Amino acid sequence: YRRMVLASRPVDKPDTTHFRLEEVGMPGVAAGQVLVRNRYLSIDPYMVGRMYTTQSYAAAQALGETMVGETAGHVIASQHPDFQIGDAVVGALGWQEYGVSDGTNLRRVDEQRAPLSAYLGMLGMTGVTAWYGINRICRPVEGDTVLVSAAAGAVGGVAVQLAKAKGCKVIGIAGGEQKCHYVTRVLGANACIDYRPLASKEALTEEIFKHAVDGVDAFFDNVNGWVLDAAFPAMSLGGRIALCGMIGRYGNRSMQLLSHHFLLLSRLTAQGFIVWDHVGEWGRAVDELSDLMDGGLLRSEETRAFGIEAAPHACLGLLAGKNVGKQLVQFY
Ligand code: NDP
């Protein structure tokens, strides 16, 4: 079967030559192990950070080893008491078509409740990240104005819908007219700012104020850098900022924050979080997300690439904004 390894580290911008596709033999299954045929691979921005030795909260990806990543698939052989052939499972088996697990971090999921791929998106890390940032940090109440960056992306798209479901006025920030159209028409945001044609951070601040004349009560930020900097002056007194991601800094770009004095002036609270630190809340989050999905209040949007050979391109495509909703690779 095939697997993708990190062949070399980027010095500056990452590209597909940093990956290598390898053919390896099928592994045996020892006592206490299961063999999984992976159907979907989750593509996440942290993977770009891991290609470097610095700048990420995740440890660096080892060279020559299978790229790390979350997968969903089915058990095809088992010597483990908790798993049977045919079980649908989600785990971190990496960028490979098959994977062996000893059951650690492998969880059975219910395909009757939701399609398998949803457990990597809305009902997986993506959905829980949005849920945590909105419910535990942004804490918006009905009538609040909520700003979400990378609003057409996987986490951002869920955050928009969760804030909307709470009766908030939601303003998205996304790249391009089409995405903004999607954020307002499909996800239901009240407005969406296309940041790409804007020449400066001041212009973005002005755009935010146009839609949030009384300021932004809560900001769910996936981008950091100049987008975060542009939002500081537009925050209302006592506003909350969930620092979820910094995709604006990935690909080895650094960006200075110049307006953080508004943290003090406007008595803001900005809190960073990593969803894996809150596994105790996952069950509740997934239940709530699943109820909202059943009630038609949450749409699970996906962009799929096909075949493991497409994974590097899909991964780097996140930096270019090629995806709408959750980026997945489907193996078969
Ligand atoms: P997305 O689906 O949002 O994909 C990334 C999107 O970011 C792109 O589609 C693109 O949209 C936008 N983007 C890329 N480069 C830039 C840039 N330079 N400036 C502005 N926007 C950019 O990915 P996820 O939903 O998976 O992740 C969103 C964020 O959440 C990431 O920063 C990620 O690291 C973070 N995250 C954090 C977690 C946590 O525990 N804290 C857990 C999971 C994710 P556009 O076309 O609109 O520019």
Is pLDDT larger for residue 37 or for residue 248?
37
Mutate to test the pocket of ligand 1, among 222, 254, 282 (most ligand atoms within 8 A of CB): 222
- For the 2-121+301-330 domain, the top CATH level (class) is alpha beta
Ligand 1 contact via 137 beta carbon (within 6 Å)? no
At 55 the pLDDT is 57
> CB 178: neighbour CB atoms within 10 A?
12
The residue nearest atom 30 of ligand 1, judged by CA position, is 245
CATH number of 125-276: 3.40.50.720
ipTM of the modeled complex:
0.99
Ligand 1 contact via 140 beta carbon (within 6 Å)? no
CA-wise closest residue to 320 among 202, 175, 147: 175
Q: Give tens-digit pLDDT for 95-148.
A: 999 999 999 989 999 999 999 999 999 999 999 999 999 999 999 999 999 999
Ligand 1 contact via 274 beta carbon (within 6 Å)? yes
Name the least confident of 49-53, 74-78, 97-101, 192-196.
49-53
150 Cα to the center of ligand 1, angstroms: 6
Mean local confidence (pLDDT), 67-73: 97
Identical fold, 2-121+301-330 and 125-276:
no
Ligand 1 contact via 129 beta carbon (within 6 Å)? yes
Q: Which two tokens stand for residue 193?
A: 């700012």
Per domain, the residue ranges of the chain are 2-121+301-330, 125-276
pLDDT at 271 over 60: yes
At 199 the pLDDT is 85
**Strand 216-221 to strand 235-243: parallel, antiparallel, or no bridges (unpaired)?**
parallel
pLDDT at 251 over 70: no
pLDDT at 209 over 50: yes
The residue nearest atom 35 of ligand 1, judged by CA position, is 245
Mean local confidence (pLDDT), 14-30: 95
Q: What global pTM score does this model have?
A: 0.96
Mean local confidence (pLDDT), 299-308: 95
How far is the C-alpha of 301 from the C-alpha of 310, rounded, in Å?
19
Q: Which residue in the block uniquely carries the two structure tokens 């593509």?
A: 43
User: What's the chain's average pLDDT?
Assistant: 95
252 falls in which pLDDT band (50, 70, 90)? very low
162 Cα to the center of ligand 1, angstroms: 17
1 Cα to the center of ligand 1, angstroms: 31
46 Cα to the center of ligand 1, angstroms: 9
